[in-house]
Amino acid sequence: MDKTKDIKFLLDDLFGSIIEKIDFNTFNNTISLTLKIIENGKETIHNLEFKGVWSHYYIKDTSSSGIDFTETNYLELISIDFSPNGISSIECRSNSDEWFNSIASKANFALEIWEGLLLIEARYIQIDNYEFELARLN
């Protein structure tokens, strides 16, 4: 199998997992998630780490379902998508600051967390004991 298929295969097993912990470490440019899957009464813990994080962007869509997920007291990873060429471009726009207009990113991961979306551009991903180097998008 090629690297993209390997990554997608490993990520597919994480759909529907409970996010036990999420850590944004801007100093080390990492985003780490501890995930729990409960299947047939058995709990399995998985670790997902994005390394060499260039950017991350969170969008919360409160209009999508009408359900207040804050009452659940946990976060669920509904889905995760990987695109080696980038899922979407994120560009900053300002009417008064040219420097701000030069900031751009191309996310290669999209994590659907309840009604929100976390877009991440990372150079590496580690799924449990498997680490993959990814193409540089910026």
- pLDDT one-digit tens code per residue, 77-89: 999 999 988 887 7
Q: Which domain holds residue 47?
A: 3-133
Asked if 122 contacts 60 with a C-beta cutoff of 8 angstroms, the reply is no
pLDDT at 7: 92
| Domain membership flag for residue 106 | yes
Place of tokens 């440019």: 29
pTM, two decimals, is 0.86
Task: Indicate whether 138 belongs to any domain.
Answer: no
Residues of the chain short of pLDDT 50, as ranges, are none
Number of domains in the chain: 1
Question: How does DSSP classify residue 95?
Answer: S
Q: What is the pLDDT of residues 53-69, one digit of tens each?
A: 999 998 887 565 556 66
* Angstrom distances, CA of residue 45 to CA of 27, 76, 87, 122: 26, 14, 27, 22
| Separation between Cα atoms, residue 47 and residue 10, nearest integer Å | 11
